[in-house]
Amino acid sequence: MNNFGYARASDVADAMRRIAADPAAKFIAGGTNLIDLMKENVARPSQLIDITHLPLKKVEETKDGGLRIGALVPNSDLAYHPQVETRYPLLGSAILAGASQQLRNMASTGGNLLQRTRCLYFYDTTTPCNKREPGSGCSAIDGINRMHAILGTSEHCIATHPSDMCVALAALDARVLATGKAGRRSIVFSEFHRLPGDTPQVDSNLQADEIITAIELPPKGFAKNYTYLKIRDRLSYAFALVSVAVGLDIEGDTIKEARLALGGVAHKPWRDRDAEAQLKGAEATRDNFLHAAETVLRDARGFGHNDFKIELARRGILRALSQAARGTPQSQADKRIK
């Protein structure tokens, strides 16, 4: 057992002051990931800074008609929020595909973004892991890597980001609002998480002295033609092998705008703008969907146990695009797609 201190932040400025004064400290929100990591001796913070009493629990409309979600809004409250149910059902579906009801009640919006990988070697302190202990090696590359990444990997780490919510946020073009010593900033979602490169211990571009205060969604929610498809070993309470978030804006059979992001395949939610550009202006056909899938997976590489993910992702993309095009987010194969 490692000793650690505990302090309750009184406001955002106080939280920032405390984290800046003690770089080995960690914020604690729902605690559903951090406490597990501490129990497994993977995380050893000097101090827990409790942010659960900060006023970051509101969901409110922005001036431009989008939505601002406070960093402490619980995942369940967000999924069932009327604005999310009606305007951003892709986000609600992704949240409800994750964890369990009890965990979603505790888990916060900000904490979900910063949850750490579920790579088993990362949790097993008896094995080498560059993410846990930089320079020690990666046990997964030649080990059991069935759950691991097929895109954006490096020779140092092939872990995946485990969040479902973040895949929808990537597709929806969200922004992360953060505050730190240098002031406030708004981070484009696709630039929030990082690829492993040669520093896999760093998951995101959030600075050590920054706190996430909110997530902002633009007005467009793709509420009519969307799908969050999560493929996993069990129907609930399992992390994604592959997940696909799709939002389409369709007129007749023509796609005016497409959003496509994948989970379970990379160190960050994987959004492919080339595939989206290919779909823009194209007809909603099986061939065009397959073409987009090939584009997303053009550089995919398996590591043995996870080779199957490449074909699974291809089929997942095809199915998710087909469901979204038909406007039946949870249905099976689409007979109307040519």
Ligand X SMILES: Cc1cc2nc3c(=O)[nH]c(=O)nc-3n(C[C@H](O)[C@H](O)[C@H](O)COP(=O)(O)OP(=O)(O)OC[C@H]3O[C@@H](n4cnc5c(N)ncnc54)[C@H](O)[C@@H]3O)c2cc1C
Which residues contribute to the site for ligand X (CB under 6 A)? 26-34, 36, 51, 71, 98-99, 103, 106-108, 110-112, 114-115, 162-165, 211-212, 239
- Letters for 131-160 (x = contact with ligand SF4 by CB under 6 A, - = none) are x------xxx----------------xxx-
- Give the shortest CB-147-to-ligand SF4 separation in angstroms: 9
Tell me, by CB under 6 A, how many residues bind ligand SF4. 14
Residue 243: name its binding partner from ligand SF4, ligand X, none (Cβ under 5 to 8 Å by kind): none
With a CB cutoff of 8 Å and minimum separation 6, the contacts of 105 are 74, 75, 76
Q: 119 or 318: whose CB is closer to ligand SF4?
A: 119
Q: How far apart are CA 82 and CA 122, in angstroms?
A: 38
Residue 119 found at the interface with ligand SF4 (CB under 6 A): yes
Residue 110: name its binding partner from ligand X, ligand SF4, none (Cβ under 5 to 8 Å by kind): ligand X
- Give the shortest CB-185-to-ligand X separation in angstroms: 13
Q: Which of residues 178-237 bind ligand SF4 (CB under 6 A)?
A: 200
Q: How far apart are CA 118 and CA 239, in angstroms?
A: 8
Residue 106: name its binding partner from ligand SF4, ligand X, none (Cβ under 5 to 8 Å by kind): ligand X
Q: 16 or 284: whose CB is closer to ligand X?
A: 16
Q: 147 or 258: whose CB is closer to ligand X?
A: 147
Q: 158 or 178: whose CB is closer to ligand X?
A: 178
Give the CB-side neighbour count of residue 50, counting CA atoms within 13 A. Answer: 8
Phi-psi region of 86 (alpha: psi -120 to 50; beta: other; left: phi over 0): alpha
Of 248, 276, 277, the residue nearest 337 (C-alpha): 248
Residue 151: name its binding partner from ligand X, ligand SF4, none (Cβ under 5 to 8 Å by kind): none
With a CB cutoff of 8 Å and minimum separation 6, the contacts of 276 are 257, 258, 259, 260, 292
Residue 88: name its binding partner from ligand SF4, ligand X, none (Cβ under 5 to 8 Å by kind): none
Instruction: Name the site residues for ligand SF4 (rule: CB under 6 A).
Output: 117, 119, 121-122, 129-131, 138-140, 157-159, 200
